Amino acid sequence: MSDVPAVIQWLQNSEIGTGIRESVWTFPLVETTHVLALALSVGVLIWFDLRLLGWGMKHTPVSQVHKQVMPLAGIGFIVMFISGILLFWSEAEKCYLSGFFRAKVLFLVLAGVNAAVFEFTTKKSIEEWDKYPVPPPKARIAGLFSILSWAAVIIAGRATAYNLF
Amino acid sequence: MHFLLPLFRWADGTWLGETIRGSRIYFPIIETFHLLALTMLFGAVIVLNLRLCRVIMKNQPVQQVAEDLSPYAFWSLVVILTSGFMLFTSEAMKCYASKPFQVKMVFLFSALIFHFTVHRKATRSDREPTLPWGSLVGAVNVLLWLGVGLGGRGIGFL
């Protein structure tokens, strides 16, 4: 395909890309790892987001939920990211051409920016929030944005695999 | 002939199954709901059982964590089972022949039974289970749900 950049073609046709794609077990194993890591990281992160919104885990202080739950989500994200790169490597051309995959990357960036803003600025006053059942609006917005952007990542990711459009 | 074959044949012939089969987009849409709800349930299972094993949230009583998580876990389970049944009717005969599907169903029913009996007792009593017992219940619960997930993923691949 001529409209695919050379680096994408090179990735797909590299030894590792071809190896993952054509092996009987590697692709399903990497894919399964990706989905499990997703369920771990986003599944756990959701509880922190719900806590930020004041909708879930109301009896546990926000700062506690953050401290206990985020390391788990972090481990999940690392595994998800590595397995995701491997999957992309093996299907680089399909992903590059897929509108859903592009949307997924966009939502991923949005989720990442939201998380970075929260971790580096918003979070500074997290201990203060422990005094109230519901955190301040800026924290609630971060929680809602996180849930929505991750749901969008999952939806777009699932649609990439189906290659609908 | 397996004694459950009529059940699979019935599911395969339902209006629901035929409708989902007849569309290119129904199956992916339903499966996306299945996946979103599953992510939520899996997260709840991990958080609650790590608490039961005393890895996280040691300052919160197990019972309280369980009560905080349970409405979300319950409704995600409802979405998972409903969407799962819909997906099943659309490819019941494929499921009948699928080993991973059989594995998944064994794990699913075991997980549900365990969840609403032993696990519920361990997480809903005033007195927290002692460490080896609590950890064992937590580990078994996670492994059963993991088996459901792995079996489910296997249906698509094998």
Q: Do the chains contact at A46 and B40, CB–CB below 8 Å? A: yes
* Dihedral sign, Cα of residue B71, residue B76, residue B78, residue B81: negative
Chain A residues near any Cβ of chain B (below 8 Å) = 28, 31-32, 35-36, 38-40, 42-47, 50, 56-60, 64-65, 68-69, 72, 151, 154-155, 158-159, 162, 164
The 3-state DSSP class for residue A134 equals coil
| d(C-alpha A142, C-alpha A115), whole Å | 8
Could you give the dihedral angle defined by the CA atoms of residues B119, B131, B135 and A70, in that order, rounded to the nearest 10 degrees? 100
* pLDDT of amino acid B97: 92
Low-confidence ranges of chain A (pLDDT < 70): 1-2, 163-165
Average pLDDT over chain B, rounded to whole? 93
Residues A107-148 have pLDDT tens digits of 999 999 999 999 999 988 898 998 888 899 999 999 999 999
Token reading at A81: 């990211």
Q: How high is the ipTM of this complex?
A: 0.89
Residue indicated by tokens 């979070």: A123
The tokens describing A36, both together, are 């499990």
B53 touches chain A (CB under 8 A): no
| CB of B38 less than 8 A from some CB of A | yes
Q: Which tokens belong to B2?
A: 């397996």
Of A159-163, B91-95, B131-135, which range is least confident? A159-163
3-state secondary structure of A67: helix
